[in-house]
A and B are shown apart, each in its own frame.
Chain A
Amino acid sequence: GAGVSQSPSNKVTEKGKDVELRCDPISGHTALYWYRQSLGQGLEFLIYFQGNSAPDKSGLPSDRFSAERTGGSVSTLTIQRTQQEDSAVYLCASSLENPRIKNIQYFGAGTRLSVL
């Protein structure tokens, strides 16, 4: 597709259940990012992928959060044993990778997660 695609657009789950959020980046973009947008915390960085590896996981809020990327393309963010404080919009972004310049990150429309 032309842009970053995220699915599902909305997810409602019960506390304690696991959820998987998917991100399909722009074709050819080697860098992929996950951010979380919540009312209390604003927009926060979660994790960054360069290809299939994740050199920076510093933003993951707890060990219940994990992410993987396969084939240098699609990424999945998994939240285990969801808690109500996990309710937020999860945004994915992708960019071309160039260590010398800061490339523009292009964002998807996000997945709105509601934990009941």
Chain B
Amino acid sequence: AQKVTQAQTEISVVEKEDVTLDCVYETRDTTYYLFWYKQPPSGELVFLIRRNSFDEQNEISGRYSWNFQKSTSSFNFTITASQVVDSAVYFCALSEAWNAGNMLTFGGGTRLMVKP
């Protein structure tokens, strides 16, 4: 069965620090998709990135970057020069290709607090 683990339940940093959120996943499928979502205090899950298992290229989007390593089953998320507005709960999720329903299996989330 699939599983996503976010070992860091809470991280606190000071503004402008870099921070990395860890995500480790388990799946028996060779084709799968990984996602990161952000949940601000308003409650809505905001999509950040989707990556398929055949694309191990790292990705950068502004201050955000993602490091996908199949060898360690990890899909880590780094925020560079963090800002107070980055404060939220961040979820990593997995979807397996065999599952036509596309349901997401989520990690437990990491609460990031960025202090001014």
Kindly identify which residue among B35, B102, B109 contacts A48, using a CB–CB cutoff of 8 Å: B102
Q: How far is the CA of A91 from the CA of B33 in the complex (A)?
A: 21
B101 within 8 A of A: yes
* Size category, B interface: 20 to 34
Determine whether A1 belongs to the interface, using a CB cutoff of 8 Å to chain B: no
Q: Which residues of A contact B105 (CB under 8 A)?
A: 45
Using a CB-CB cutoff of 8 Å, which residues 29-68 of chain B contact chain A? Answer: 33, 35, 37, 42-47, 50, 52
| Residue in B closest to A106 when the chains form the complex, CB atoms | B47
Q: Tell which of A31, A42, A112 touches B109, judged by Cβ atoms closer than 8 Å.
A: A42
Known interface pairs A89-B43, A109-B43. Does A103 touch B102 (Cβ–Cβ under 8 Å)? yes
Report the bound CA distance from A28 to B1 in whole Å. 32
A104 at the interface (CB under 8 A from B): yes
A95 to B35 alpha-carbon distance, docked (Å): 14
Please indicate the chain A residues that have their CB under 8 angstroms from the CB of B43 in the complex: 89, 109-110, 112
Give me 9 A-to-B residue pairs in the complex whose CB atoms sit less than 8 angstroms apart, sorted by A's number: A3-B44, A44-B106, A45-B105, A48-B103, A50-B101, A56-B101, A95-B102, A107-B46, A110-B43
Chain B residues in the interface with A (C-beta under 8 A): 33, 35, 37, 42-47, 50, 52, 91, 95, 97, 100-109
Question: Can you add 18 more A-B contacts, CB < 8 Å, to A45-B104, A102-B50, A107-B45?
Answer: A3-B44, A42-B107, A42-B109, A43-B104, A45-B105, A55-B100, A56-B103, A59-B103, A91-B45, A95-B102, A99-B100, A102-B95, A104-B50, A106-B47, A107-B44, A107-B47, A108-B44, A112-B43
